[in-house]
Amino acid sequence: MKSAVLAEPAKSLREVYTGVLTATVNTLRVTHNEEEIGAAVPGFESVRSVLQRSRAKVRPLLPRSREEIDLDARWTHTLTGARFLLFDDGSINRILGFSTNELITSLCEASTVFMDGTFRVVPTIFTQLYSLHGFFKGEMVPFVYFLLPDKSKETYVRMFNLVKRYAMSIGKSFDPPAFQLDFEISALKALEECFPRSEREGSLFHFNQSLWRKVRELRLSAHYGDSEVKRFIRCTAALALVPLDRVEDAWLEIKSDSPTFEHPAYQKPEDFKMYFINTWMENETVFPRKIWNQYRNFGARTTNHLEGWHQALNRDVKRSHVNLFEMIEHLQKQEDKFRLDMMRLRMGQGPPTLTKVYRRLNDRLIRLTGEFESGARTLLDYVRGVAHNPPSM
């Protein structure tokens, strides 16, 4: 059992104990009965102190706060020995950032940087795991992982400035043409301050999520089975794929085609209209239309690529709020996986192909756009066509 603790320092003692116990019991069952096994197997409390002494040889005590974090080389380097902890800033509001020179170089070369945070797996002494991704030869790759203390604009500004300074130190410049992210106001304002020349693009996935949250909040979802209500909600979401200079016209047509006064759910769509106008149509200082408009974007319209990465990470980690050392170990494994992927891509192998469903939806959108631009479809026909092929609603 002590050797298992040494071999897997990121796992909790109870996890190690349970794993070894299960394997041992399964082996003993071949030659011993249940009574003999039960009498021979030690309880966790009886071996805890021994395991703790073994653990102390390979892993320091778990920090109770960000100020107590003290990482040795095992946790600050990749599995191949490259420097991995590139950013360690602050004390109470400490930020830890993990990447490599190779990944920072690729980040600086990306035409669009995709950003998102996840909260489920992050150690309790931090608020979120925030990652910056980009395409490398056609594959979405995580370039930097940050453990952040909060979600404030000031913290995001610190994070961006850390990357900018480090990029300069290795002869690179981090000033990408565009960023794509969710509609978190503090992150958007930090981008505006740190990268005034860069385009800020909202994720279509998160745009639709925001609309659907409001649908549920207004309990309009209870009427979603009604064809008029469903068409209205989907057409509203489709506005993100309308030419920017025609959004106003399309919105007027959608409103005129929405449930009328005689409809039993009339007031709820009316409330949804007011929300949409106040939040997305007439809120230029926070969410200007150009941020959420995705017309003629037939590439990555959404950070849903990142959602897929987060889901895969959550499956690998298996539980919520792992300790700091487990978190770093998972990030080390992520770096190792994508380093090999990047090596494979450099050797001429192709990136993963899009799923059949996504390819089919994208082909339909391209066809609908062509028909609209050629005059074969009216504006409302185009909106309805897009609404019947929704990306995520």
In a domain, 285, yes or no: yes
Helix (H, G, I), strand (E, B) or coil at 177: coil
Same domain, 40 and 158: no
Instruction: Report the alpha-carbon angle 175-177-181, nearest 5.
Output: 95
Q: Is residue 392 part of a domain?
A: no
Q: Pick from 266, 201, 281: which is nearest to 236 by CA?
A: 281
Tell me which H or E stretch contains 103: helix 101-109
Instruction: Looking at the structure, tell me whether residues 281 and 377 fall in a common domain.
Output: yes
Q: Kindly state whether residues 100 and 218 are assigned to the same domain.
A: no
pLDDT tens string for the chain (393 positions)? 556 544 565 566 667 656 665 665 566 565 666 665 555 566 666 656 665 565 656 667 889 999 999 999 999 999 999 999 999 999 899 999 999 999 999 999 999 999 999 999 999 999 999 999 999 999 999 999 999 999 999 999 999 999 999 999 999 999 999 999 999 999 999 999 999 999 999 989 899 999 999 999 999 999 999 999 999 999 999 999 999 999 999 999 999 999 988 888 889 999 999 999 999 999 999 999 999 999 988 766 554 567 778 788 888 888 899 999 999 999 999 999 999 999 999 999 988 777 777 788 888 999 999 999 999 999 999 999 999 876 544
The H or E element spanning position 49 is helix 44-58
| Tokens 């203390």 found at | 149
Pairing between β-strand 139-148 and β-strand 128-136 as defined by DSSP bridges:
antiparallel
> Do residue 227 and residue 274 come from a single domain?
yes
d(CA 298, CA 301): 7
Single-letter amino acid, residue 21: L
Determine, yes or no, domain membership for 336: yes
Question: Cβ-count burial of 390 within 10 angstroms (0-12 exposed, 13-18 middle, 19+ buried)?
Answer: middle
Residues 172 and 80 in one domain: yes
Say if residues 93 and 150 touch (Cβ distance below 8 Å).
yes
Task: Report if residue 23 sits inside a domain.
Answer: yes
- Residue ranges of E strands in the chain: 85-89, 95-98, 112-118, 128-136, 139-148, 178-181, 199-202
**What is the predicted pLDDT for the residue at 89?**
96
DSSP 116-134: EEE-SSS-TTSSEEEEEEE
Residue 349 lies in a domain: no
Is 128 in the same domain as 262? no
Q: What is the pTM of this model?
A: 0.82
Looking at the structure of the chain, the number of domains it has is 3
CB atoms within 10 A of CB 332: 19
Q: Are residues 174 and 268 in the same domain?
A: no
| pLDDT of amino acid 194 | 98
Q: What is the CATH number of the domain that holds 117?
A: 3.30.420.10
Instruction: Note whether 190 and 272 are same-domain residues.
Output: no
In whole angstroms, what is the distance from residue 100 CA to residue 191 CA?
23
Together in a domain, 140 and 162: yes
The tokens for 236 are 């509203």
pLDDT value at residue 289 = 96
Q: Are residues 285 and 360 in the same domain?
A: yes
- The residue from 18, 34, 59 where one domain ends is 59
pLDDT at residue 183, rounded to an integer: 94
Q: Are residues 382 and 233 in the same domain?
A: yes
| Residue 27 lies in domain | 2-59
Indicate the pairing of strand 95-98 with strand 139-148: antiparallel
Q: Single out the residue of 229, 290, 233, 303 nearest to residue 259, CA to CA.
A: 229
Residues 6+ apart with CB under 8 A from 328: 10, 71, 75, 98
- Are both 194 and 320 inside the same structural domain? yes
215 part of a folded domain:
yes
Residue 93, Cβ neighbours under 10 Å: how many? 15
Classify residue 350: in a domain, yes or no: no
Residue 45 lies inside a defined structural domain of this protein: yes
